[in-house]
Amino acid sequence: MSAPEHSLPQSPLTEQDDAWDRRVASGLAFLRRRLSGAYEVDEFGFDQELTEGLFHPMMRLLQREWFRTEIFGAKHIPADGGALLVGNHSGTVALDALMLAIACHDESEGNRHLRLLGADFVFKLPGLSELARKSGATLACTPDAERLLAGGELVGVFPEGFKGVGKPFRDRYKLQRFGRGGFVSAALRTGVPIIPAAIVGAEEIYPLIGNIKPLARVLGAPYFPVTPTFPWLGPLGLVPLPSKWLIEFGEPIPTEDLVDQADDPMVVFNLADQVRETVQEMIHGLLERRPDPFAQ
Amino acid sequence: MATRPEVVLVTGVSRFLGARVAANLATRTGVGRVIGLDPFPPHPEVEPLLADSSVEVVQADLRAAGEVIADLGVEAVVHLAVISSPDQARGGRAAMKEQNVIGTMQLLAACQQADTLRRLVVRSSTAAYGASFRDPAVFTEDTEPREVPRGGYARDILDIESYVRGFRRRRPDVTATVLRFAPFIGATAETALLRYLARPTVPTVLGRDPRMQFVHVDDALEVLERSVLESHPGTFNVAGPGIITLSQAIRRAGRIAVPIVEQALAASAATGRGLISNDQIDLFVHGRVVDTTRLVSEFGFTPRSTPDAFADFVRSHQSGALVTPDRLAAAERSFLDMIHRVREEVR
């Protein structure tokens, strides 16, 4: 891709120039591969090259510089094989999903890609739907979840859904209902462990103080948020507040011995409750470590 | 093990797929007679293919199938008179629907009466899965369509499959094989979708980059032939494993994508004579990917992958390419050289 070091002219700046040259050359090569379609996309639409080359650097910047995120318990993410990551959802705009994904990739042993399950609203919107697919997400539905898990992927799900992301600021860090526990059935049927994950910090990025329901209905959105800065400051209101983030991965909950009980609603509800309580406890633990939401 | 059928009836021989299947079957040992039935005379390009073979062509509408089957003791029927896009020279969409829906009804009514019939093979399409935002990413044969698609061909396919379901109930003794083909591709394949993709600039839907699958025509022929000669009851997805996104396909073909808002494309499709059809808009918005596990395990045959099949198409359509890998590589090299020169000067 780049010229070997000895072929470059000798000067005091060689070392530095070389790195610059390399960056330009690899950037151009990336551009050429993209323009000629010479990359792979999996059956869900996941474009690994684009994700690692373009999305990850932006997410990383946001995570490290803006949110100053600290990550705990990444050792609980298995280096390979299927696993279901279950997290709390918050923050009006689902940045927590992206931050969880980059945390998984950068901190896990196998540099795992988190395959997120998204609401159908995401896949209805032009543009957003394709960004979601290219970054590895797919629709939150049983066939897709089971296909990914059976294929040995690390799958991320937020069972609270819009009830979690779109909840008012006063309800922050209170876990909402976990739906029908479909995520538990998927894990049970494929026999993969469930890894609880707690995210603290996302609640403060866009504090939701109001919801203009008629406007949401017109736009076909699940809610229309009003925050201290949006829509008052226009596009500036889209800048997330720089809260301090903590992400913790909990101990995996094994499911192998429950595989034949995936259809038993009692087993499913109990396990869903167990996961929910674990995540809630982890959130409380993290909040104690972070008394000031905007600490350094 | 099921024996090969002595007498085979193939519908839709006026077109490429039907003619090829009929001509291939006529050369197989064990197959005594192949009768080709079609309401239209053979297209000029398939005429020599049929003329060189021992296929007996009957030009009549599919109602005639009853007599042919009874008179000749037909044991297998291959229904390929299913048209994927309107042919303006042959009556447009109205005639297409007439042939797809009414034709299938008539053929299956005739098949139901035929005592000699043992095997029925029907061409279907992955369009049978409809088009909805709540669809799973990958369709297995058991996936039910969530929404009726807007495309005419897709709606015809839903009708055709429902008739076959009725036929299966009434004639459980006949081995019925339904093949849900992904869009055909290959060096020689000619479909509305491929003509569209062969344009130098390809209009796409703004904000959508669908996942697409194709099946190479040669592999489709192989599966069709095996369905007639062997016994494979059931419904099967027939597609090349793997996917290619539309933007990727356009780039690999060296074409240029022109994103257009969906409403404008839909308006163009509504005229009926536009560049694009509702079937294509459904595909270009939702994409369509199927699971081929059942095909591979039942037939013991894996079609070549979608990217490989697409590469075959690209090789044979080089002439319309605007952006070739060579040109891109040359541009990259000259740009790097330029940067080197500028930096030498500065230093």
CA distance readout (Å), A163 to A35, A175, A245, B21, B341:
40, 9, 21, 56, 58
The pLDDT of residue B81 is: 95
Rounded Cα gap, residues A147 and A268, in angstroms: 19
**Smallest Cα distance from B174 to chain A, Å:** 32
The pLDDT of residue B123 is: 97
Mean pLDDT calculated for residue range B206-232: 96
Mean pLDDT calculated for residue range B32-38: 94
The pLDDT of residue A13 is: 43
Q: Quick check: A123 and A166 in contact, CB under 8 A?
A: no
CATH architecture of A46-205+240-289: 3-Layer(aba) Sandwich (3.40)
- Chain A hits for B336, Cβ within 8 Å: 24-25, 28
- A128: helix, strand or coil: helix
Chain pair A-B, CB pairs under 8 angstroms: 99
The pLDDT of residue A8 is: 39
pLDDT(B142) > 70: yes
pLDDT(B303) > 90: yes
**Smallest Cα distance from B201 to chain A, Å:** 15
Task: State the SS3 of chain A.
Answer: CCCCHHHCCCCCCHHHHHHHHHHHHHHHHHHHHHHHCCCCCCCCCCCHHHHHHHHHHHHHHHHHHHCCCEEECHHHCCCCCCEEEEECCCCCCCHHHHHHHHHHHHHCCCCCCEEEEECHHHHHCCCHHHHHHHCCCEECCHHHHHHHHHCCCEEEECCCCHHHHCCCHHHCCCCCCCCCCHHHHHHHHHCCCEEEEEEECHHHCCCCCEECHHHHHHHCCCCCEECCCCCCCHHHHHCCCCCCCEEEECCCECCHHHHHHCCCHHHHHHHHHHHHHHHHHHHHHHHHHCCCCCCC
- ipTM, two decimals, is 0.91
pLDDT tens for chain A, 296 residues: list them: 333 334 434 444 444 567 788 888 889 999 999 999 999 999 999 999 999 999 999 999 999 999 999 999 999 999 999 999 999 999 989 999 999 999 999 999 999 999 999 998 899 999 999 999 999 999 999 999 999 999 999 999 999 998 899 999 999 999 998 988 899 999 999 999 999 999 999 999 999 999 999 999 988 888 899 999 888 888 888 899 999 999 999 999 999 888 888 889 999 999 999 999 999 999 999 999 999 999 88
**Smallest Cα distance from B207 to chain A, Å:** 4
The pLDDT of residue B91 is: 86
| Eight-state DSSP code of residue A206 | S
Mean pLDDT calculated for residue range B114-123: 95
Q: Quick check: A130 and B207 in contact, CB under 8 A?
A: yes
Contact assignment for A126 to B251 by CB distance below 8 Å: no
Q: Give residues with Cβ within 8 angstroms of A50, minimum separation 6.
A: A34, A39, A134
Provide the residue ranges of all domains of chain A, joining segments of one domain with +: 13-42, 46-205+240-289
Contact assignment for A17 to B343 by CB distance below 8 Å: yes
Contact assignment for A31 to B332 by CB distance below 8 Å: yes
Q: Which of A29, A43, A47 sits opposite B137 (nearest CB)?
A: A43
The total number of residues shown for chain B amounts to 347
**Res. B152 pLDDT band, cuts 50 70 90:** very high
**Smallest Cα distance from A141 to chain B, Å:** 7
Rounded Cα gap, residues A269 and B60, in angstroms: 62
The pLDDT of residue A219 is: 85
Neighbours of A216 (CB within 10 A): 15
Contact assignment for A32 to B328 by CB distance below 8 Å: yes
Mean pLDDT calculated for residue range B147-172: 94
pLDDT(B212) > 80: yes
Rounded Cα gap, residues A285 and A278, in angstroms: 11
Mean pLDDT, chain B, whole residue set = 93
The pLDDT of residue B178 is: 98
Residues of B at the A interface, defined by Cβ within 8 angstroms: 133-138, 140, 143, 205-209, 211, 242-245, 247-252, 254, 262, 287, 289, 323, 325, 328-329, 331-332, 335-336, 339-340, 343-344, 347
The pLDDT tens digits for B316-328 are 988 878 888 888 8
**Smallest Cα distance from B74 to chain A, Å:** 41
- Which chain A residue lies closest to B306 (C-alpha atoms)? A43
The pLDDT of residue B89 is: 83
* Chain B touched by A27 (CB under 8 Å): no
The pLDDT of residue A16 is: 52
pLDDT(B120) > 90: yes
The pLDDT of residue A158 is: 96
Q: Which of A28, A129, A147 sits opposite B138 (nearest CB)?
A: A147
The pLDDT of residue A17 is: 60
- Which chain A residue lies closest to B285 (C-alpha atoms)? A126
Residues 160-199 of A with CB under 8 A from B: none
Rounded Cα gap, residues B17 and B1, in angstroms: 27
Strand pairing partners for A134?
none
Query: Which element (helix H / strand E) includes B258?
Result: strand B256-260
Mean pLDDT calculated for residue range B279-303: 96
Give the pairing type, strands B215-216 and B76-79. unpaired
